[in-house]
Amino acid sequence: MAAQGAVLGLESSCDETAAAVLAGDGTVLAEAVLSQEQEHARFGGVVPEIAARAHLRHLPRLARAVLERAGLAPGDLAGVAATAGPGLIGGLIVGASFGKGIALARGLPFVAVNHLEAHALTVRLPGLIEGGPPDFPYLLLLVSGGHCQCVAVEGVGRYRRLGTTLDDAVGEAFDKAAKLLGLPWPGGPHLERLAARGDPRRFPLPRPLLGRPGCDFSFSGLKTAVAHLVAKGAAADEQGRADLAASFQAAVAEVLADRAAHALAMLPAARALVVAGGVAANATVRAALAARLEGAQGRNRVRLVAPPLRLCTDNAVMVAWAGIERLRLGLADPLDHAPRPRWPLEEVRARPGVEARGGAERGGDEAVAADRQQRP
Q: What is the pLDDT of residues 233-276, one digit of tens each?
A: 999 999 999 999 999 999 999 999 999 999 999 999 999 999 99
- The reported pLDDT for the residue numbered 298 is 55
Lowest mean pLDDT: which of 10-19, 40-49, 330-339?
40-49
Amino acid at 302: V
Q: Check the annotation: does 145 bind a ligand.
A: yes
E strand spans, the chain: 7-11, 16-22, 28-35, 79-85, 110-114, 138-143, 148-155, 158-164, 272-276, 303-305, 354-357, 360-363
Q: Check the annotation: does 131 bind a ligand.
A: no
At 212, the pLDDT band (50, 70, 90 cuts) reads very high
Rg of the chain in Å (alpha carbons): 21
Q: Check the annotation: does 114 bind a ligand.
A: no
Q: Check the annotation: does 175 bind a ligand.
A: yes
Report the 10 Å Cβ neighbour count for 358: 9
Q: Which domains does the chain have, with CATH numbers?
A: 7-121+312-343 (3.30.420.40), 135-306 (3.30.420.40)
Are 303 and 286 a contacting pair, CB within 8 Å?
A: no
Q: Check the annotation: does 146 bind a ligand.
A: yes
Q: Check the annotation: does 143 bind a ligand.
A: yes
Q: Give the residue with greater pLDDT, 362 vs 72.
A: 72
pLDDT of residue 73 exceeding 80 = yes
Q: Check the annotation: does 115 bind a ligand.
A: yes
Q: Give the residue with greater pLDDT, 356 vs 339.
A: 339
- The reported pLDDT for the residue numbered 5 is 95
- The reported pLDDT for the residue numbered 376 is 33
pLDDT of residue 46 exceeding 60 = yes
Global pTM value: 0.90
26: left (phi over 0), alpha (psi -120 to 50) or beta: left
DSSP letter (8 states) at residue 183: P
pLDDT of residue 18 exceeding 50 = yes
pLDDT of residue 154 exceeding 80 = yes
Q: Check the annotation: does 55 bind a ligand.
A: no
Q: Check the annotation: does 119 bind a ligand.
A: yes
Q: What percent of the chain has pLDDT over 90?
A: 82
Mean pLDDT of the chain: 90
Are 360 and 367 a contacting pair, CB within 8 Å?
A: no
Q: Check the annotation: does 262 bind a ligand.
A: no
Q: Which of 328, 356, 354 is nearest to 124 (CA)?
A: 328
Q: Check the annotation: does 333 bind a ligand.
A: no
Contacts of 256 (CB under 8 A, 6+ apart): 141, 143, 170, 217, 285, 288, 289
Task: Determine the Cα–Cα distance for residues 308 and 255; give it in Å rounded to an integer.
Answer: 23
